[in-house]
Every structure is written in structure tokens, then in C-alpha cells.
Chain A
Amino acid sequence: MLSATIGNTFFCYSLTIGVFILFLGLGSASFDWIPRKRINFLNLAFIEIIMSINGLVGIYIITKSSLFYGSELFWIIALIPTIICGFFSGLELPFLIGLAPKKYLKVFGLDYIGMFLGAFLFPFFFLSYLGIFISSFVVAFLNFIVAIFLLYSSKGK
């Protein structure tokens, strides 16, 4: 969700955001094909871990992808982390709702409030104090903490 907040009219950003949202959509649509019994905390933790690894490796891939600038390969490589991030973020939200069907409007509302925090914290705090690389590590770490928390709670059940 964080990367969606630095929206811009430029083609590069439009492309990134476009691809991101497209895969958000595909991710959430694919939720409907997941068997009900697979929807549990463990699998959500798995999604979180993938996202955190993607956050760590993605920035590195994007930086290195400029080596291929000028060929189609550049865009394909540069967009892979965005695609992964979009797909799993899209999957994440219906997953959460699937875990708490009775309170889903609360979950959904909190998701938006998280977006609000992202919109403010990302440009004014993360980018200017930490820079893109460290921000990416911090956000990936946050994802990782969520994953650990989920693993812990799934164990409890």
C-alpha cells in the first residue's frame, strides 16, 4: 500500500502504479478460487513473509535493472517486484476479511486508516530521514514482525 501513495503523473509512476493496481486486482480476484480451509493464519503469515522478502530483494533488483536500460528486459525486470507486491497485497486483504467475516467492515476500515498513515509517514518521515533503501528494510521488517505474530497466534490455536 505504501508505494501507491507516491502517485505521480509521470509515465514511469503511472506504469508502476498501473501494474501495481492491476495485480492488486488479480490478487484479490484469485482469492475467490482459494479453498475455504486454506484460509488460516499460517497461510497469511506465508504471504507476509513473501512480501517482506520481496521488499528486501525488490529494491536491489530495481536498482540493478538500470543496467538493462533501453531493452524491453529493463521494464520486465524492474516491474517484477511491483507485480509480486501488488499480487500479494491484493490477496492479503480478502484473506484478512476471510479470517474475520463478521467484523469485516472494521478490518476494511482499518486498512484505509493504515493507508492514511502510509501516505503521511512515507514521504515526510521515511523518505527524508531514512532514504529509500532503509525505508524498504524497515517496511519489510514490519511485514516480517506481522508474519511472526501470525505464526505465534496460529500456534496458539
Chain B
Amino acid sequence: MNLFALYIITLVSSFCSLAYQILIAHFLTEQIDIYIISQTTTFGIYALACGLGIIFFNQGQRDIFKFFLKIEIYLILSSFIIPLTFVLCHIFFNIFLFEKISQIFSIPIYYTEKSMLFLLAQIGVFILGFISGMEISSILKIKDKLYHSETKYIGLIFCAGYIGGLISSLVVPSVFVVHVGSLIGFLIVGSINLIFLLLFFILFYYKKWISRYLIYYGFSLSFFLGFLFLMSPGLFFKLENYNLKVMYSQVSVEKFNSNSFKNAHRMIGMLGDVQRFRSLYQTIDILDANFNSKILYFFKKMDFKILAKEKHPNFYLFLNRNLQFSSSGHKSYHESIAHAPINVTGHTPKNILILGGGDGILIKELLRYGKDIKITLVEIDQKIIDLSKNHVLMKSLNQNSLSSSQVTVIIQDALQFIKYTKNTYDAIYIDIPFPSNYNFMRLYSKEFFFNVNRRLDQDGFMIIDTIKLDMEDHKIQSKILINTLISAGFKKNRLMGFGDTNHFIIGIKKDKKMEFDYDNIGFFETNTLLNLRPVTDFDKIPIDADSVHSLYKPKWFLHL
């Protein structure tokens, strides 16, 4: 019985401690959206702290059971306190600190925010990792004490640890993060840890019920239960939304006193809720008309100058905290991507492939070319398709285009689809987010563009929305993108970049002069015309095989 109990304890504790790490990594990614760095650094620091925890474990413990219980209590306590501190610090820093620090060091406010959150999360994960390291050591020592041998059953204990890790790495990202979010995830994992502590009590201490340990730890335990009660999910949800509101509105005050904090709190209270939807692939935030114009302030700071000129914002859609479109900007964006390549090439496509673009607005624009065009939409995320079909706001924007009989929706990874499809298309629209995480980076790779090129008809074109094609500020990114496109078979003279607020690259297969036909502006509205500005200095980009982004040799599109 004791051995079995030890396995269960190992399994649960390994599940919980790895779950804490995964949740912190996800929480950080949600806040700062630098996926690769967040995930790898958080895991790295966690492993380091675990290692240190094990190495510095004091071997001379007199009562290992007591020590283990103490460690568990520290772990549970930190699992509640760390995320809470993280959120409260985020809110507090947003209101009081970020702007001031940015002014002192004259750096953009989101740099300050990202780096401070990053630091906070690493401190948190270090503490959790260190305690977890101590926990693992205690379990092993308990085993030694029970069986008087260092090597006996060690393999099975490790096995239980790995299985706990396995469950954690499968369940946490796909269930907890998707369905309840990382903050509530902490609450659940913390509770599992708490129940497991009770189990430990009963299994190992049932004979000594009225021991002094029970009085000592019973007090701590009831403290946790009370704490848990206070931290009821409703409160966590509220806190999470409050945090989101602060994040998007960027309310900040000049003076550091309670009065100004009260004012800020009142201001945040006036804002409408942020509607957050989660899927396996992204978090979708919709700020609708209720979320009032305070948000403009945010855009001023983010250097979204054009958007900030708008007087009456209505809504914004963010994917992983990156603005996808707003009520004012979406027209110019979607008209540019839909009609510009047709204007430039003079070729109206009949058989169109759209990769990404699950919001359906691009389809709405393309359906204006008549009843005889056929559109295939490949989108990885069912959630965004559901939202586009059912959310009132989204439906009004895309005029329910996804339900049109001319449209076929395929839920699949675009990289896979383009690799294995047998069809060819006379237009391929690539409407995917910026390559900020590994999954999106795969879609900016040589292999992806090679297959796009292969699936394109001789007269066809492809268009991709891209990072700012600025040869000065975004030099490295532009260099990587252009070199990748060239290595995938698009010749330099068959590529054309354009844009002002949004940037795009058009690629064709035949040699043909590409320029805008300004006499024939078709479906463009006046605002969009500003965006039709060719980027002419492609020639300045050196051809460099080392700047090619490939699946097998990725180049990071760093944008810290």
C-alpha cells in the first residue's frame, strides 16, 4: 500500500509542479505574445531552479515526512500567491509605473511592460521550480527511508514522475488553458495539490491522527481552505477581466497617491468587458462599442498614429494581443489585400484559395467579383469560424459571407493543406498573423512559399500581409522575408511590395510589369487609396542564403 501511495504522490506532485510551469509560460505568452522566448525561457528557468532545489536539498533532515509536508504547503501557497501577485503587479505597474519608466529610459511603453512582466514571471517560476526540486528530493528520500536503499524502486518512481509530466503536458495546454484560462488553471491545479496533501495525511498519518503535526498543519490547511474559498472562480474571472481592461485601455496616472488610484479605478470601472475567447491556437479578444474611447490612448502609445486620429472607435479584434483589425482600419486593410493584386495584375481570379482569414471579411470583399468565383478557405481554428458565423458583431462585418454557397471552409493547418493539395489556384491570399510564435513562423517559411508557388496557376498571383516593409526600422525582418520568398522560387522582379499603414507583398509567376492602375480604382474607397503606395527599395535588399527562413533552419523574426 505504501509503495502505491508513493507512486500516486509522485504522479500528482509531478503533474502539479509541471502544470504550474506550463501555466506560467502560457500566462506570460498571453500577456506579452513572444511565444518562443516565453516558453523556452520559462521552461529553462524552471529546470534550472529544480536542479538547484535538488542540489541544495539539505540531506540531514531528521523528519523527512514533516519536511515534505512543509514543502507541499509552501508550494500550494506560492501557487496561489504567485499568479495573484503577477496580475496585481501588472495592474499596479500599468497604472503607476510603466509610463514613467518608459519616459526615464525613453523606450516605448510596451517594451517596458513586456520586459517587466517577463522578469516577474521568471522570478515566479524560479520560486516554484526551486520548491518543486525540494519536493522531488523529499519524495526520493521518503522512498529511501521506507525501503532502506537508494536504488530500489527508483526507476518506478521516475516512471510515475514522467507519467505525471505527460498528463500535465497534454491536459494543461489543451484543457485548462483553452477552457478556463491560465489564471483559473492555477486555482484548479492548486486545489488538486491541496487535495493530494490531504490524501498524504490520511495515507501516512492515519495512525497518528492527533499528533502535533496535525494541529500544526491543520491550522495551515484551514487557512488554505479559507483562502481557496475567497479565491472563488468568480473573483478570478473578475480579476482577469479587470486585468484585460487595464491592459487594453492603458489607463495611467501622473501622481502616486490613493486619490489618483481611485480615479483610475473608477475609469476602469466605466469600461465595458473585454470579450475573451480561447482556442488551442490563440486567444481572441473582442472589444466592442461598449469599450469606450479610452482605448485611443493605447493606440497613441503603441504608435498607431493613423488609428488614433479616428474620433469614434467601435470595436477591435485582437489575436494573441496583436491588433487584427478595428472598425476604422479594417476597410483599408481588407480592401487593400482583396483588390490590390487584381488591380496590379489585371487578372480577376475565378478559383481562389485563402489561407487564414477566418474572420470572413476578405471573403466578403472577394464575393463582390460575382457569382462565378469559387473560394476555398483554409483555417486552422474552428473557434474563429464559429465566431465569424455566430457573433453578432463579426456577422455584421463579414455579412455572413462564410455561409455563402460559393465558399468551402476547410479546417486544417495551412502548411499541411498546401503541401498535400492536388488543386491549383489562380489566386492565393495569405492572411495570417505576424510570425510571433512557432506555429505562425512555419507559415513564413521557404517550404510553405515553395508550395504556394507550386499551387499557383501560370497567370495567378499570391498576396501576403506582412510586417512593415521598412528598409530602416525593420531591416532584418524584411531581409529574411524577401530572401525566403526568393529562395522559394519567386523572382525578385516578380515581387511587389506596397502599403502605408498595412503592408503587403504580391508575387506572380510570369515576368510582367507590376504597377497600380490608378485610373481604374474599382472597389477601393478613398481611405484605402492611401495604402496603395509601392515600396520601391526592394533592390537594396542583398540576396543572402543565410537569411532564408526554413522549417529546418528557422530564423527568428524577433520583434522584442
Q: Which positions in A face B, CB cutoff 8 Å? A: 5-10, 14, 17-18, 21-22, 24-26, 28-32, 36, 69-70, 90, 93-94, 97-98, 101-102, 104-106, 108-113, 115-116, 119-120, 122-124, 127-128, 130-133
Contact = CB atoms under 8 A, between A and B. Distances in A.
A17 to B, nearest CB: 6
A112 B50 CA distance: 7
A35 to B, nearest CB: 12
Contacts of B438: 6, 8
Interface string B46-79: 0110111111010100000000000000000000
Given A28-B158, A29-B156, A93-B158, A120 B52 contact: no
B47 A116 contact: yes
B150 A102 contact: yes
A9 B281 contact: yes
Given A8-B438, A105-B54, A120 B44 contact: yes
B54 A28 contact: no
Given A112-B54, A133-B552, A32 B156 contact: yes
Contact of B162 (A28, A110, A120): A28
Contact of B151 (A17, A98, A128, A133): A98
Given A113-B48, A128-B555, A101 B40 contact: no
B264 interface: no
A115 B554 contact: no
Contacts of B41: 119-120
19 contacts: A6-B438, A14-B169, A14-B170, A18-B170, A24-B162, A25-B158, A70-B420, A93-B158, A94-B151, A101-B150, A105-B55, A108-B137, A109-B52, A109-B133, A113-B47, A116-B45, A119-B47, A123-B40, A131-B553
A106 B54 CA distance: 7
A14 B159 CA distance: 19
Contacts of B40: 5-6, 119-120, 122-124
A95 B378 CA distance: 48
B39 A109 contact: no
Most B CB atoms within 10 A — which of A18, A101, A112? A112
Nearest to A36: B151
Contacts of A94: 151, 154-155, 158
Contacts of B170: 14, 18
Nearest to A110: B51
A115 B52 CA distance: 12
- What is the interface residue range for chain B against chain A? 35 or more
* Dominant secondary structure at the B interface: helix
A93 to B, nearest CB: 6
Interface of B: 36, 39-41, 43-45, 47-48, 50-55, 57, 59, 133, 136-137, 140, 150-156, 158-160, 162-163, 165-166, 169-170, 173-174, 177, 280-281, 420, 438-439, 550-556
Given A5-B43, A102-B150, A109-B133, A18 B155 contact: no
Given A14-B174, A105-B59, A111 B140 contact: no
Given A120-B41, A127-B554, A131-B550, A9 B173 contact: yes
B155 A32 contact: yes
* Dominant secondary structure at the A interface: helix
A125 B89 CA distance: 33
A39 to B, nearest CB: 8
Contacts of B51: 109-113, 115-116
A17 B45 contact: no
A25 B162 contact: yes
Nearest to A122: B40
A128 B36 CA distance: 13
Contacts of A128: 553-556
Nearest to B59: A105
A28 B155 CA distance: 5
Given A116-B51, A128-B553, 11 more contacts: A5-B40, A14-B173, A69-B420, A94-B151, A94-B155, A98-B154, A104-B140, A115-B44, A116-B47, A120-B41, A123-B40
Nearest to B172: A9
Contacts of A119: 40-41, 43-44, 47
A9 B176 CA distance: 12
Nearest to B160: A25
Given A123-B40, A128-B555, A25 B166 contact: yes
Most B CB atoms within 10 A — which of A5, A30, A108? A108
Q: Which 9 pairs across A and B sit closest by C-beta, in order of nearness?
A: A131-B553, A112-B51, A31-B155, A119-B44, A109-B54, A109-B55, A25-B162, A29-B159, A28-B158
A97 B150 contact: yes
Contacts of A127: 553-554
B43 A7 contact: yes
Contacts of A28: 155-156, 158-159, 162
Given A8-B439, A108-B54, A109-B55, A21 B165 contact: yes
A131 B552 contact: yes
A26 B159 contact: yes
A102 B342 CA distance: 73
A105 B280 contact: no
Contacts of B154: 31-32, 94, 97-98, 104
Contacts of A102: 150
A84 B178 CA distance: 32
Most B CB atoms within 10 A — which of A9, A21, A30, A98? A9
A108 B44 contact: no
Contacts of A131: 550, 552-553
A70 to B, nearest CB: 8
A28 B164 CA distance: 14
Given A105-B140, A123-B36, A131-B553, A32 B153 contact: yes
Given A9-B280, A21-B165, A26-B159, A116 B55 contact: no
A101 B554 CA distance: 42
Nearest to A26: B159
A31 to B, nearest CB: 3
Nearest to B173: A9
B174 A9 contact: yes
A79 to B, nearest CB: 15
Nearest to A17: B169
A89 to B, nearest CB: 10
B166 A21 contact: yes
B248 to A, nearest CB: 24
Nearest to A104: B150
A65 to B, nearest CB: 14
